[in-house]
């Protein structure tokens, strides 16, 4: 079959490399436009070798339109004469005209157990909401966001300390394997799908930096889930307030709840330290910060932070 890959970033790359290693003809790549470093990250960040670089090494056409749904985008895709569009973390909803270009339409490799977590950041939001499992779903593309019929689905358990980046590393090869299996089935003949239950649908919007701001009135387990979900981007952050000092930004990289521990003054955000360890009161329980990053400095352990910073009595985060 003549295949066009449509995707961007770390989740999509294993699927693209699998297509390139298959016996099918990969005739082009559609990926997001090049971005200024530090912008437009999250689910569309470029990492590993990079989708564009992989395509150029093999002298494949690379399309990077701001919108593939324009007349120009439709024309460029039509000129390639694809049999199937293979989509993974592309970041754009495809129009009816785009989907009609390929004789077999398109399949989407989505990193959630659809209909849960439709949208750009399903991995992060699954962790954020405390899900115990997630997975990959292959759907037949439709004009609505992640709403097509389910063609195949596999689940895996989310580790209790696993970050979004770590989970993505496990889901990406699973998605690649499932995509290749589906392509082989489609090469033989039609594959029937199962409609999604719309009543069970939930959203996974694109992450912004604001999603990383910690609200200390929430419970310790919920805050820890947020920290895991926001790593590696945009990262969870807060502000350190100490008497006589201006507020300073802190990134919290790693933390865990401490059941049974208490702080005398139970105001959310209040800090305490003990034997090289940093604790913070939340709206429900105490959390220990394992790794953090003060503004302008490198990531460090809580012990290293305390060795270089005499934390004042009454210091708090907000």
What's the topology of domain 2-200? Answer: Rossmann fold (3.40.50)
**Mean pLDDT of the residues in the chain:** 94
Q: Where in the chain is the domain with CATH 3.40.50.170?
A: 2-200
Query: What does the alpha-carbon distance between residue 125 and residue 123 come to, in Å, rounded to a whole number?
Result: 6
Query: What does the alpha-carbon distance between residue 44 and residue 91 come to, in Å, rounded to a whole number?
Result: 7
pLDDT exceeds 90 at position 189: yes
- CB 8, CB 46: distance < 8 Å: yes
| pLDDT one-digit tens code per residue, 247-304 | 999 999 999 999 999 888 789 999 999 999 999 999 999 999 999 999 999 999 999 9
- The stretch 74-96 carries a mean pLDDT of 97
- The stretch 150-177 carries a mean pLDDT of 98
Whole-number pLDDT of residue 56: 96
Query: What does the alpha-carbon distance between residue 13 and residue 49 come to, in Å, rounded to a whole number?
Result: 8
Structure tokens at 98: 């785009």
Determine which helix (DSSP H) or strand (DSSP E) holds 279, and give its type and residue range. Answer: strand 277-281
| pLDDT one-digit tens code per residue, 30-75 | 999 987 654 444 444 445 568 999 999 999 999 999 999 999 999 9
User: Which CATH entry fits the domain spanning 209-317: 2.60.40.2130, 3.40.50.300, 3.40.50.11540, 3.10.25.10?
Assistant: 3.10.25.10
Whole-number pLDDT of residue 40: 43
Whole-number pLDDT of residue 308: 86
pLDDT exceeds 90 at position 169: yes
Q: Where in the chain is the domain with CATH 3.10.25.10?
A: 209-317
Structure tokens at 251: 């990134």
Whole-number pLDDT of residue 161: 97
Phi/psi-derived region of residue 12, left when phi > 0, alpha when psi is between -120 and 50, beta in every other case: alpha
- The stretch 1-20 carries a mean pLDDT of 97
Main-chain dihedrals φ then ψ at residue 249, nearest 5 degrees: -80, 135
């Amino acid at each position: 079959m003549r295949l066009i890959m449509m995707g961007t970033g770390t989740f999509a790359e294993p699927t693209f490399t699998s297509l390139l290693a298959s016996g099918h003809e990969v005739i082009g790549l559609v990926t997001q436009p090049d971005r200024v470093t530090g912008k437009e990250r999250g689910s569309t960040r470029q990492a590993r070798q990079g989708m564009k670089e992989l395509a150029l090494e093999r002298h494949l056409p690379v399309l990077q339109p701001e919108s593939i749904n324009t007349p120009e985008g439709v024309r460029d895709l039509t000129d390639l004469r694809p049999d199937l569009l293979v989509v993974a973390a592309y970041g754009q909803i495809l129009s009816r005209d785009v989907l009609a270009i390929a004789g077999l339409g398109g399949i989407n490799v989505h990193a959630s157990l659809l209909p849960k977590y439709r949208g750009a950041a399903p991995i992060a939001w699954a962790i954020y909401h405390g899900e115990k499992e997630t997975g990959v779903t292959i759907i037949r593309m439709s004009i609505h966001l992640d709403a097509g019929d389910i063609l195949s689905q596999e689940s895996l358990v989310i580790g209790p300390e696993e970050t979004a980046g770590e989970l993505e590393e496990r889901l990406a090869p699973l998605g690649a394997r499932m995509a290749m299996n589906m392509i082989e089935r489609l090469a033989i003949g039609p594959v029937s799908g199962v409609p999604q239950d719309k009543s069970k649908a939930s959203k996974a919007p694109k992450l912004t930096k604001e999603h990383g701001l910690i609200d200390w009135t929430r419970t310790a387990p919920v805050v820890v889930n947020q920290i895991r979900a926001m790593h590696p981007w945009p990262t969870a952050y807060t502000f350190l307030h100490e008497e006589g000092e201006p507020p300073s930004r802190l990134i919290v990289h790693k933390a865990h709840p401490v059941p049974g521990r208490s702080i005398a003054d139970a105001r959310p955000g209040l800090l305490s330290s003990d034997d090289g360890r940093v604790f913070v009161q939340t709206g429900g329980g105490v959390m220990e910060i394992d790794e953090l990053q003060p503004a302008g400095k490198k990531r460090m352990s809580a012990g290293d932070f305390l060795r270089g910073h005499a934390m004042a009595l009454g210091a708090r985060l907000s």
